[in-house]
């Protein structure tokens, strides 16, 4: 099935044996051998990363509004509006970087640890929604 | 340096208030007013220009503000710019119990303290800490860390905890606190007790405590005097009775005890009549329901009645600590006072404090006071009054009925007076349109105190007959 463009990857023997066992255990997936199993796993993982990136970008979009909502309940609308305005000024495409910058702003209001919890919770909410909705 | 508790009279109980940069515990059962205590402390601080922070760990901010009495809510709205809050109560379902970790709390609180330049903090309801910490040692450490962190920022903190079996919820909060205040609600009355103040004195025992529409109020069990007045000799104002009692001085307490119908209130009216006529002010406090009679008698004074304040207080649900402070407020500018029917309170738990505090206040302020005490037995009793009021009285006059020549007559006897030369005989008196009239000493009778006297001659005859 291979062609001249194909590349080899190494897997430890333990992992190779485990693949063999999984193929036997789940015949319904139709893996014809270890190579097909690995190809299928990589394809799924890439899809997952891609989906995660989409969700993180969605989380980025909702983050200012959600932060405003949480802070408004937690400490009142004045601080919430101020934090919201500062977050809206962030220009960052990379989701990880963006979240780090939001945490940086939030820590001025609630301290670093709680800022981290709030940002993490907003991302998790999106990811959970993605798992259940997509 | 002290920081005001913001609660009326509590600063005086606590020698000026909380010590600056201290961590103070307020604990009590459900509904004792812990949240309102904290809110009142912070609102008063904000009213004095300080920036304050309220941290709720249990209830949500929305619930707390919804339940505030309207007057307190109004005060809160007026200082909202200086009043900051952190609502962990509403965040817990959203962010999880992780937010109750000591270092997360510390960081969040200290961030707000720094950003808002806060000097007073209130942390309300530490019960949810158990969601994160599972043993007393860890809770104690968490509270200790929190207290040290807040002290390092120079803030004065009040935190609240539930009371369980007479102790604070975890039994460890007291040890990390600089002062401990316990709130009690019996369903009828509220009490506040200061159990500890580190580096400062306080007045022990249970104090009266009230939640009003616009704030909290403490009624200390001890009343503070505003300074001694000059001691001067006075006349009671009832012709001949003055001569019988001897010297009476401003600030003296005169106890008038007797059964119903002996005209105690008339003695009271005459007692204040004299001073009112001379332009001074007097107060008549009645716990009995013969108000129209008292009013009518006072009105007979004419113009002078304007100098006399008549107050009728229903003893039913009245808290005695509150009552004594209310009397104090009304008695500020008076030189004489009548307390009519003090016996209605003699069964109350706080009666002893009430009597001793009220009359040591009137004595120090130079307010001469006539106290009437109703004895239930109409005829023949050795009872004067309860021990508390007897102990504080400088003069004791007992009124009684005696059957003399087939007629029920009113008689008085002076049981105690400061003058060694006071009248020791029994004296008949009448009640007339002009008040109390002293008729004169009853001669040749014995056994009057028993209510059924006999003539001395008859006894002598019987004795002689016996020896014959």
Residue A57 has φ and ψ, to the nearest 5°, of -65, -35
**Which residue is listed with tokens 């459900």?**
B30
Question: What pLDDT, on a 0 to 100 scale, did the predictor assign at position A134?
Answer: 46
Question: What pLDDT, on a 0 to 100 scale, did the predictor assign at position B457?
Answer: 61
Q: Compute the average pLDDT of residues B20-48.
A: 94
- All residues of chain B having their beta carbon less than 8 Å from the beta carbon of residue A70 are 91, 94-95
Closest chain A residue to B53, measured at CA: A75
Least reliable range by pLDDT among B3-7, B298-302, B376-380, B447-451: B447-451
Mean pLDDT in chain B? 87
**Res A10 pLDDT > 50:** yes
From the list A70, A76, A111, which residue is nearest B108 (CB)? Answer: A111
Smallest CA–CA separation between B80 and chain A, in Å? Answer: 10
- For residue A5, tell me if it sits in a domain: no
**Res B172 pLDDT > 70:** no
- For residue A3, tell me if it sits in a domain: no
- The DSSP symbol for B116 reads T
- All residues of chain A having their beta carbon less than 8 Å from the beta carbon of residue B98 are 117
* A42 and A83 share one domain: no
Q: Compute the average pLDDT of residues B163-189.
A: 80
- For residue A36, tell me if it sits in a domain: yes
* A91 and A126 share one domain: yes
Q: For residue range B310-338, what is the model confidence (pLDDT) as tens digits? A: 888 888 878 899 999 999 999 988 999 99
Smallest CA–CA separation between A45 and chain B, in Å? Answer: 29
Indicate yes or no: CB of B90 within 8 angstroms of CB of A121.
no
- For residue A1, tell me if it sits in a domain: no
Indicate yes or no: CB of B94 within 8 angstroms of CB of A70.
yes
Q: How many CB pairs under 8 A join A and B?
A: 57
Q: For residue range A66-97, what is the model confidence (pLDDT) as tens digits? A: 999 999 999 999 999 999 999 999 998 888 89
| Closest alpha carbon to A117 in A95, A129, A99, A93 | A99
**Res B372 pLDDT > 50:** yes
Q: Compute the average pLDDT of residues B225-248.
A: 81
State what percent of residues in chain B have pLDDT above 90: 49
Long-range contacts of B161-169 (CB under 8 A, 24+ apart): B161/B25, B161/B26, B161/B27, B161/B125, B161/B126, B161/B127, B162/B27, B162/B28, B162/B29, B162/B30, B162/B125, B162/B127, B163/B27, B163/B28, B163/B29, B163/B32, B168/B25, B168/B27, B169/B27, B169/B126, B169/B127
- The DSSP symbol for B448 reads G
* A120 and A74 share one domain: yes
DSSP assignment of B170-190: TS-HHHH-SEEEEEEE-SS-E
- Structure tokens belonging to residue B355: 């009597």
Indicate yes or no: CB of A73 within 8 angstroms of CB of B90.
yes
Indicate yes or no: CB of B85 within 8 angstroms of CB of A75.
yes
- For residue A2, tell me if it sits in a domain: no
From the list A70, A113, A121, which residue is nearest B104 (CB)? Answer: A113
- For residue A69, tell me if it sits in a domain: yes
Check if the beta carbon of residue B457 is closer than 8 Å to that of residue B274: no
> What are the residue boundaries of the structural domains of chain B, listed by start?
2-219, 233-457
* A19 and A60 share one domain: no
Indicate yes or no: CB of A108 within 8 angstroms of CB of B111.
yes
**Res B230 pLDDT > 80:** no
From the list B85, B98, B108, which residue is nearest A110 (CB)? Answer: B108
- For residue A17, tell me if it sits in a domain: yes
| Number of domains composing chain A | 2
Smallest CA–CA separation between A114 and chain B, in Å? Answer: 6
Q: Compute the average pLDDT of residues A120-127.
A: 84
| Closest alpha carbon to B128 in B166, B85, B155, B93 | B93
* A45 and A76 share one domain: no
**Res B88 pLDDT > 90:** yes
Q: Compute the average pLDDT of residues A5-33.
A: 93
- All residues of chain B having their beta carbon less than 8 Å from the beta carbon of residue A107 are 111
Closest chain A residue to B112, measured at CA: A109
Rounded to the nearest 5 percent, the helix, strand and coil shares of chain A are 80, 0, 20
Beta pairing, strands B308-312 & B206-212? unpaired
Closest chain B residue to A120, measured at CA: B95
Indicate yes or no: CB of B104 within 8 angstroms of CB of A75.
no
From the list B95, B108, B112, which residue is nearest A121 (CB)? Answer: B95
* Domain that residue A43 falls in: 13-49
* A45 and A59 share one domain: no
* A40 and A81 share one domain: no
CATH number for the domain running over B233-457: 3.40.50.300
Indicate yes or no: CB of B85 within 8 angstroms of CB of A114.
no
Q: Compute the average pLDDT of residues B184-202.
A: 89
Closest chain A residue to B110, measured at CA: A111
Domains B2-219 and B233-457 share a fold: yes
* A86 and A23 share one domain: no
Q: For residue range B280-315, what is the model confidence (pLDDT) as tens digits? A: 899 999 988 778 888 888 888 777 778 888 888 888
Q: Is the ipTM of this complex over 0.85?
A: no
Question: What pLDDT, on a 0 to 100 scale, did the predictor assign at position A2?
Answer: 61
- For residue A25, tell me if it sits in a domain: yes
CATH number for the domain running over B2-219: 3.40.50.300
Chain centre distance of CA B448: 39
Question: What pLDDT, on a 0 to 100 scale, did the predictor assign at position B468?
Answer: 67
* A37 and A57 share one domain: no
d(CA B441, CA B409): 12
Interface of B with A (CB under 8 A): 61, 84-88, 90-91, 94-96, 98-99, 101, 103-104, 106-108, 110-112, 115
**Res A53 pLDDT > 90:** no
């Amino acid at each position: 099935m291979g062609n001249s463009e194909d590349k080899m990857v190494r897997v430890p023997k333990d992992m190779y044996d485990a693949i063999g066992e999984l193929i036997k255990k789940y015949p319904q997936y139709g893996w014809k051998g270890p190579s097909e199993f690995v190809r299928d796993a990589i394809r799924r993982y890439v899809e997952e990363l891609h989906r995660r990136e989409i969700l993180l970008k969605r989380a980025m979009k909702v983050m200012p509004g959600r932060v405003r909502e949480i802070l408004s309940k937690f400490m009142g609308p004045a601080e919430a509006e101020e934090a919201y305005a500062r977050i809206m000024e962030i220009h960052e495409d990379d989701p990880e970087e963006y979240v780090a910058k939001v945490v940086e702003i939030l820590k001025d209001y609630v301290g670093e640890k709680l800022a981290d919890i709030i940002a993490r919770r907003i991302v998790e909410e999106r990811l959970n929604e993605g798992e259940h909705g997509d | 340096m002290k920081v005001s508790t913001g609660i009326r009279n509590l600063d005086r109980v606590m020698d000026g208030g909380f010590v600056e940069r201290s961590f103070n515990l307020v604990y009590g059962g459900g509904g004792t007013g812990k949240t309102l205590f904290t809110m009142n402390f912070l609102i008063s601080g904000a009213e004095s220009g300080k920036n304050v922070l309220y941290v709720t760990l249990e209830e949500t901010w929305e619930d707390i503000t919804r339940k505030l009495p309207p007057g307190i809510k109004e005060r809160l709205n007026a200082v909202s710019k200086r009043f900051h809050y952190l609502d962990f109560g509403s965040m817990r379902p959203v962010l999880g119990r992780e937010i109750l970790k000591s270092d997360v709390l510390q960081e969040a609180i200290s961030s707000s303290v720094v950003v808002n330049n806060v000097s007073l903090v209130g942390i309300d309801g530490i019960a949810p800490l158990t969601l994160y910490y599972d043993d007393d040692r860890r809770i104690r450490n968490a509270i200790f860390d929190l207290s040290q962190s807040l002290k390092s920022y120079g803030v004065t903190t009040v935190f609240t905890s539930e009371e369980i079996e007479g102790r604070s919820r975890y039994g460890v909060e007291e040890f990390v606190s600089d002062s401990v205040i316990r709130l009690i609600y019996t369903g009828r009355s509220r009490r506040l007790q200061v159990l500890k103040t580190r580096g400062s004195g306080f007045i022990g025992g249970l104090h009266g405590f009230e939640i009003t529409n616009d704030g909290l109020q403490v009624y200390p069990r001890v009343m503070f005097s505003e300074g001694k007045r000059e001691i001067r000799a006075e006349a009671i104002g009832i012709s001949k009775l003055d001569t019988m009692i001897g010297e009476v001085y401003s600030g003296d307490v005169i106890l008038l005890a007797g059964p119903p119908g002996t005209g105690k209130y008339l003695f009271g009216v005459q007692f204040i009549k004299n001073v009112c006529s001379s332009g001074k002010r007097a107060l008549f406090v009645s716990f009995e329901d013969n108000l129209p009679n008292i009013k009518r008698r006072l009105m007979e004074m004419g113009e002078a009645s304007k100098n006399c304040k008549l107050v009728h207080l229903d003893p039913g649900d009245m808290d005695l600590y509150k009552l004594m402070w209310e009397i104090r407020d009304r008695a500020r500018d008076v030189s004489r006072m009548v307390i009519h029917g003090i016996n209605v309170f003699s069964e109350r738990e706080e009666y002893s404090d009430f009597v001793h505090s009220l009359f040591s206040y009137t004595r120090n302020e130079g307010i001469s006071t006539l106290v009437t005490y109703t004895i239930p037995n109409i005829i023949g009793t050795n009872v004067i009054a309860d021990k508390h009021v007897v102990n504080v009285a400088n003069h004791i006059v007992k009124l009684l009925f005696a059957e003399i020549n087939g007629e029920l007559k009113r008689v008085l006897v002076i049981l105690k007076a400061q003058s060694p030369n006071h009248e020791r005989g029994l004296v008949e008196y009448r009640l007339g349109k002009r008040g109390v009239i002293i008729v004169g000493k009853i001669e040749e009778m014995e056994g009057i105190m028993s209510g059924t006297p006999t003539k001395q001659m008859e006894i002598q005859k019987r004795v002689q007959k016996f020896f014959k």
